[in-house]
Amino acid sequence: MNPLLYFSGLPHFDQIKPEHITPAIEQLLAESRALVERLQADTTAPTWENFIHPLDDAEERLSRAWSQVSHTNAVVNTPELREAYNSNLTALTAFYADLGQNEALYARYKQLKAQPEFASLSAARKKIVENELRDFRLGGAELPEAKKARFKAIQEELSQLSSKFEENVMDATDAFSLLVENAAELAGIPEDAVQAAREAAQKDGKAGWKFTLHIPSYMPVLQYADNRALREKLYYAYATRASEFGKPELDNTSLINQILKLRAEAAALLGYANYAELSLASKMAQSPQEVMDFLRSLAKRAKPFAERDMAELKEYAVKLGLDSLQAWDVGYVSEKLREGRYAFSDQEVKQYFPESRVLHGLFRVISSLYGVEVRKAHAAVWHPDASFYEIVGKDGELIGQFYLDLYARDKKRGGAWMDEAITRRRKAHGIETPVAFLTCNFSAPVGGKPALFTHDEVITLFHEFGHGLHHLLTKVEEYGVSGIKGVEWDAVELPSQFMENFCWEWDVLQHMTQHVDTGEPLPRALYDKMIAAKNFQAGMQTVRQIEFSLFDMRLHSEFDADGSLTVLQLLEQVRDEVAVVRPPAYNRFPNNFAHIFAGGYAAGYYSYKWAEVLSADAYSLFEENGVLSDETGKRFWSEILAQGGSRSALESFVAFRGREPTIDALLRHNGMVETA
Ligand SMILES: [Zn+2]
Distance from C-alpha of 580 to C-alpha of 314, rounded to nearest angstrom: 11
Vertex 106, ends 101 and 112: CA angle to 5°? 165
Determine the pLDDT at residue 308.
96
Tell me how far the alpha carbon of residue 149 lies from the centroid of ligand 1, in angstroms: 34
- Strand 209-212 to 417-422 pairing: unpaired
Residue 50 Cα distances to 98, 355, 674, angstroms:
21, 49, 60
Per DSSP, what are the bridge partners of residue 407? 442
Confidence of residue 599 (pLDDT cuts 50, 70, 90): confident
Give the DSSP H/E element, type plus range, for residue 23. helix 18-41
Helices (H), 76-190: 79-100, 103-114, 123-138, 145-175
Asked if pLDDT for residue 676 goes beyond 80, the answer is: no
Summarised one tens digit per residue, pLDDT across range 127-144 is 999 999 999 999 999 999
Q: 214, 169 in Cβ contact below 8 A?
A: no
Question: Contacts for 1-7 with beta carbons within 8 Å, 24 or more apart?
Answer: 2/27, 4/65, 4/68, 4/69, 5/65, 7/61, 7/64
**Average pLDDT of span 25-37:** 98
Residue 620: count other Cβ atoms within 10 Å of its Cβ. Answer: 18
Cβ-proximal residues to 623 (8 Å cutoff; 6+ apart), any chain: none
Residue 343 amino acid letter: A
Summarised one tens digit per residue, pLDDT across range 373-406 is 999 999 999 999 999 999 999 999 999 999 999 9
- Using CB atoms within 10 A of its CB, is residue 229 exposed (0-12), middle (13-18) or buried (19+)? exposed
Summarised one tens digit per residue, pLDDT across range 163-191 is 999 999 999 999 999 999 999 999 999 99
CA 604 to chain centre: 12
The CA-based diameter of the chain, rounded to the nearest angstrom, is: 81
Closest CA to 353 of 187, 584, 509, 137: 509
Tell me how far the alpha carbon of residue 498 lies from the centroid of ligand 1, in angstroms: 10
Tell me how far the alpha carbon of residue 611 lies from the centroid of ligand 1, in angstroms: 10
Distance from C-alpha of 395 to C-alpha of 390, rounded to nearest angstrom: 14
Summarised one tens digit per residue, pLDDT across range 193-210 is 999 999 999 999 999 999
Count CA atoms within 13 Å of residue 396 on its CB side.
Answer: 0
Residue 269: count other Cβ atoms within 10 Å of its Cβ. Answer: 16
Summarised one tens digit per residue, pLDDT across range 575-589 is 999 999 999 999 999
Vertex 204, ends 198 and 208: CA angle to 5°? 35
Distance from C-alpha of 527 to C-alpha of 506, rounded to nearest angstrom: 7
Closest CA to 365 of 467, 484, 472, 501: 501
Tell me how far the alpha carbon of residue 445 lies from the centroid of ligand 1, in angstroms: 25
Kindly tell me the number of DSSP H helices and DSSP E strands found in the chain.
Answer: 26, 9
pTM for this predicted structure: 0.93
Tell me how far the alpha carbon of residue 595 lies from the centroid of ligand 1, in angstroms: 11
Q: 112, 105 in Cβ contact below 8 A?
A: no
Tell me how far the alpha carbon of residue 492 lies from the centroid of ligand 1, in angstroms: 7
Determine the pLDDT at residue 675.
60
**Average pLDDT of span 648-657:** 97
**Average pLDDT of span 80-88:** 96
Residue 353 amino acid letter: F
Tell me how far the alpha carbon of residue 484 lies from the centroid of ligand 1, in angstroms: 12
Tell me how far the alpha carbon of residue 71 lies from the centroid of ligand 1, in angstroms: 17
Tell me how far the alpha carbon of residue 20 lies from the centroid of ligand 1, in angstroms: 31
Residues with catalytic annotation? 464
Distance from C-alpha of 279 to C-alpha of 272, rounded to nearest angstrom: 10
Q: What string of DSSP letters covers 369-387? A: HHS-EEEE-----SSTT-E
Tell me how far the alpha carbon of residue 493 lies from the centroid of ligand 1, in angstroms: 5
Summarised one tens digit per residue, pLDDT across range 470-522 is 999 999 999 999 999 999 999 999 999 999 999 999 999 999 999 999 999 99
Closest CA to 214 of 226, 229, 232, 196: 196
Per DSSP, what are the bridge partners of residue 405? 439
Give the DSSP H/E element, type plus range, for residue 252. none
* DSSP SS3 for 405: strand
Summarised one tens digit per residue, pLDDT across range 410-444 is 999 999 999 999 999 999 889 999 999 999 999 99
Distance from C-alpha of 481 to C-alpha of 282, rounded to nearest angstrom: 14
Give the DSSP H/E element, type plus range, for residue 419. strand 417-422
Q: What string of DSSP letters covers 31-48? A: HHHHHHHHHHH--SPP-I
Helix/strand/coil percentages in the chain, nearest 5: 60, 5, 30
Distance from C-alpha of 41 to C-alpha of 490, rounded to nearest angstrom: 38
Helices (H), 281-354: 288-319, 327-342, 346-350
Tell me how far the alpha carbon of residue 618 lies from the centroid of ligand 1, in angstroms: 16
Tell me how far the alpha carbon of residue 344 lies from the centroid of ligand 1, in angstroms: 28
CA 5 to chain centre: 28
Mean model confidence pLDDT for the chain:
96
Vertex 173, ends 171 and 176: CA angle to 5°? 100
